[in-house]
Amino acid sequence: MTRVLLIDDDSELLEILGEWLSGRGHLVRASRDAQGAVEAVVEFAPDLVLLDGVLRGTTGQELAVELERRAPVRVVFLSGLPRDELPADRLVLQKPIDLDALERVLRLPAAQVPEAIQPR
């Protein structure tokens, strides 16, 4: 079981993806904003953070750095932005989310996550 923190300002995506993850045995917590995400990463201690590339008041990259500063966590971006507008050194799953790709990310040890998804 993987502890997954979902961070996105789209409540519908949080609900659908949260249900999908929970249905596969993962423990899920969701946050719609940066402040809630920072609190959750400390309290919930997730194994994986699925983070929107753009949130109100901050960028996904800024928030990723803050979350990693507070806890040893792996961050994967979920974004509808063009790939070149996101950090080149980060794993990104494009929206709409390819659930097979997400499943592969969830199965891999943290050290292997950057190689988990190859562009098709």
Task: Answer whether 21's CB lies under 8 Å from 47's CB.
Answer: no
Looking at residue 100, which CATH number applies to its domain?
3.40.50.2300
Strands 92-94 and 48-52: unpaired
Is residue 106 a part of any domain in this protein? Answer: yes
Evaluate if residue 118 carries a pLDDT over 50.
no
Is residue 63 a part of any domain in this protein? Answer: yes
Rounded distance between C-alpha atoms, residue 109 and residue 60, angstroms: 23
Q: Can you give the pTM of this predicted structure?
A: 0.89
Reported as a single tens digit per residue, the pLDDT across 75-103 is 999 999 898 888 888 999 999 999 999 99
What domain range is 99 assigned to?
A: 3-115
Is residue 120 a part of any domain in this protein? Answer: no
Is residue 95 a part of any domain in this protein? Answer: yes
Domain count, the chain: 1
Is residue 94 a part of any domain in this protein? Answer: yes
